[in-house]
């Protein structure tokens, strides 16, 4: 590392403020010469939370038995510091670029967001390998506080909960890496095909699916996720799907192929002036289950407001398991509304923003006698500093 820095000290350097390629703007120090650029930046994101939820591992549908759910008010502080390291090099119109984003949480744990290498041509084609996020088919807008389980593609599905499918089971940042091929056409057309590889049992947050135990003996999956997008001016439209090409990659105790999941997503967005608007649809067909979601949100003058509706249809469950500890058979629906406000450049400090956010969510089941007890809500203050 010291040899690398010493090498760059000998070059004529240009120090500039740039915008990173992540979803948030990120100030960075950039070193450039005739061969390429190297940038260092990052951000600090710290949250102060107050929320009401059910105890971990408790089914939201336990109220079907007539017993009240165990609930508790919770207060905590969490967050992380992220370091962004990016590099790019060009030759005769072709390029190679990389990104590395290690992060450290206030809990003391270390992690990683992006870590990838991309190689592309002047014709608009690119191949990317590593850890990253593919095209977002269900953007949430100014997402400050919404309670969901899981990360981008892991720990998303939880038995006993109402699943909010968002066409992101194959989007990326899994444990075993991914590969993406993309091409940008003339007239603002873009297409990509992403593959998410490896053990996909991590999609399930827990050890059961419909009350059946998930078998620990898994094999590598290969999820393919093609997306095509069109951006005519201030509008953008995208369609995509995701499906697992490998049979029996994840099975339950019956031998049922619960890794056989195919989902679809579509989104329309408007970015103009002080207004951002997103409308999204998603649908999933899984083993003995189907899920559909609709999301709409907007950001106007730093004010964010959004709504998500989701419907799950469970066709069959394990009759030997008590129904009030898993997601019961039949249809369940969830409704979530969330809002936020951004205070930009607090105290006159560029790159230091403060957000306030809140959400309210409740779940209904077609056979529930006490579904009103399944509501959840919370509020958050987020401190965001870009460096």
Q: What is the mean pLDDT of residues 54-78?
A: 69
Q: Which residue reads 């790019």 in tokens?
A: 88
Q: What is the mean pLDDT of residues 14-27?
A: 38
Query: On the CB side of 92, how many CA atoms lie within 13 Å of its CA?
Result: 0
> What does the pLDDT look like over 317-344, one tens digit per residue?
999 887 667 888 899 999 999 999 999 9
Residue 43 placed within a domain: yes
pLDDT at residue 17 in the model = 29
Residue 96 placed within a domain: no
Q: What is the mean pLDDT of residues 148-173?
A: 87
Helices (H), the chain: 2-9
Residue 302 sits in a domain whose CATH number is: 2.40.160
SS3 at position 346 = helix
Q: What is the mean pLDDT of residues 209-215?
A: 94
Residue 132 placed within a domain: no
Interstrand relation of 235-244 and 221-230 (parallel, antiparallel or unpaired) = antiparallel
Confidence grade of residue 72 (pLDDT, cut at 50, 70, 90)? confident
* 137 has pLDDT over 50: yes
* 374 has pLDDT over 70: yes
How far lies 250's CA from each of 116, 160, 261, in Å? 27, 19, 11
Nearest C-alpha neighbor of 235 from the set 193, 264, 266, 267 = 267
Q: Give the contacts of 374 (CB within 8 A, at least 6 positions apart).
A: 54, 60, 61, 63, 69, 362, 363, 364, 368
Token pair listed for 44: 């600090």
Domain ranges, residue 344:
2-83+138-386
Q: What is the mean pLDDT of residues 154-158?
A: 88
Token pair listed for 148: 């969901």
Note the Cα 69 to chain centre separation in Å. Answer: 28
Interstrand relation of 94-105 and 71-91 (parallel, antiparallel or unpaired) = antiparallel
Integer Cα distance of 113 and 145 in angstroms: 19
Residue 246 placed within a domain: yes
Q: Count of CB atoms within 10 A of residue 251's CB?
A: 22
How far lies 62's CA from each of 112, 309, 316, in Å? 36, 21, 17
Least confident segment among 31-35, 47-51, 246-250, 279-283: 31-35
How many domains in the chain? 1
What would the 3-class secondary structure string for 9-61 be?
A: HCCCCCCEECCCCCCCCCCEEEEEECCEEEEEEEEEEEEEEEEEEECCCCCCC
Integer Cα distance of 85 and 91 in angstroms: 21
Measure the CA angle with vertex 364, ends 359 and 369; round to 5°: 130
Measure the CA angle with vertex 251, ends 248 and 252; round to 5°: 160
Q: Which residue reads 């070193």 in tokens?
A: 31
Residue 94 placed within a domain: no
pLDDT at residue 290 in the model = 97
Counting residues of the chain whose pLDDT is more than 90, the rounded percentage is: 69
Which one has a higher pLDDT value, 106 or 372?
106
Global pTM value: 0.88
Contact 98/87 with Cβ under 8 angstroms?
yes
* 136 has pLDDT over 50: yes
Q: What is the mean pLDDT of residues 129-146?
A: 95
pLDDT at residue 67 in the model = 60
Q: What is the mean pLDDT of residues 40-47?
A: 96
pLDDT at residue 22 in the model = 37
Residue 110 placed within a domain: no
Integer Cα distance of 40 and 82 in angstroms: 11
Residue 31 placed within a domain: yes
pLDDT at residue 20 in the model = 34
pLDDT at residue 363 in the model = 87
Residue 26 placed within a domain: yes
């Amino acid at each position: 590392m010291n040899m690398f820095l010493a090498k760059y000290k000998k070059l004529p350097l240009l120090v500039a403020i740039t915008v990173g390629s992540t979803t948030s703007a990120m100030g960075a120090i950039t070193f450039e010469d005739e061969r390429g650029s190297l940038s260092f930046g990052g951000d600090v994101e710290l949250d102060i939370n107050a929320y009401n939820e059910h105890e971990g591992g408790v089914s939201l549908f336990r109220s079907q038995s007539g017993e009240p759910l165990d609930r508790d008010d919770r207060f905590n502080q969490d967050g992380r510091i992220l370091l962004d390291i990016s590099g790019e090099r060009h030759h005769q119109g072709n390029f190679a670029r990389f990104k590395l984003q290690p992060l450290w949480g206030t809990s003391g744990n270390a992690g990683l967001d992006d870590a990838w290498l991309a190689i592309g041509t002047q014709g608009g084609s690119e191949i990317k390998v590593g850890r990253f996020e593919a095209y977002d088919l269900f953007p949430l807008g100014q997402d400050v506080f919404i309670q969901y389980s899981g990360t981008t593609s892991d720990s998303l599905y939880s038995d006993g909960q109402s699943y909010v499918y968002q066409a992101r089971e194959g989007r990326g940042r899994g444990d075993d890496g991914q590969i993406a091929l993309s091409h940008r056409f003339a007239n603002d057309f873009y297409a990509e095909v992403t593959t998410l590889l490896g053990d996909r049992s991590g999609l399930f947050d827990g050890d059961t699916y419909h009350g059946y135990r998930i078998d620990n003996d898994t094999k590598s999956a290969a999820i393919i996720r093609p997306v095509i997008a069109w951006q005519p001016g201030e509008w953008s439209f995208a369609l995509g799907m995701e499906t697992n090409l490998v049979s029996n990659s994840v099975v339950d105790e019956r031998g049922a192929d619960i890794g056989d999941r195919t989902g679809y997503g579509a989104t329309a967005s408007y970015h103009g002036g002080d207004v951002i608007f997103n409308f999204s649809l998603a649908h999933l067909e899984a083993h003995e289950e189907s899920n559909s979601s609709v999301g709409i949100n907007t950001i106007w003058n730093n004010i964010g407001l959004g709504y998500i509706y989701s419907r799950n249809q469970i066709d069959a469950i394990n009759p030997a398991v008590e129904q009030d500890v898993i997601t019961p058979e039949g249809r369940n629906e969830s409704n979530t509304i969330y809002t936020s406000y951004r205070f930009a450049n607090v105290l006159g400090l560029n790159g230091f923003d403060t957000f306030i956010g809140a959400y309210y969510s409740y779940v209904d089941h077609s056979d529930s006698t006490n579904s009103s007890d399944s509501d959840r809500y919370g509020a958050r203050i987020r401190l965001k500093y870009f460096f």
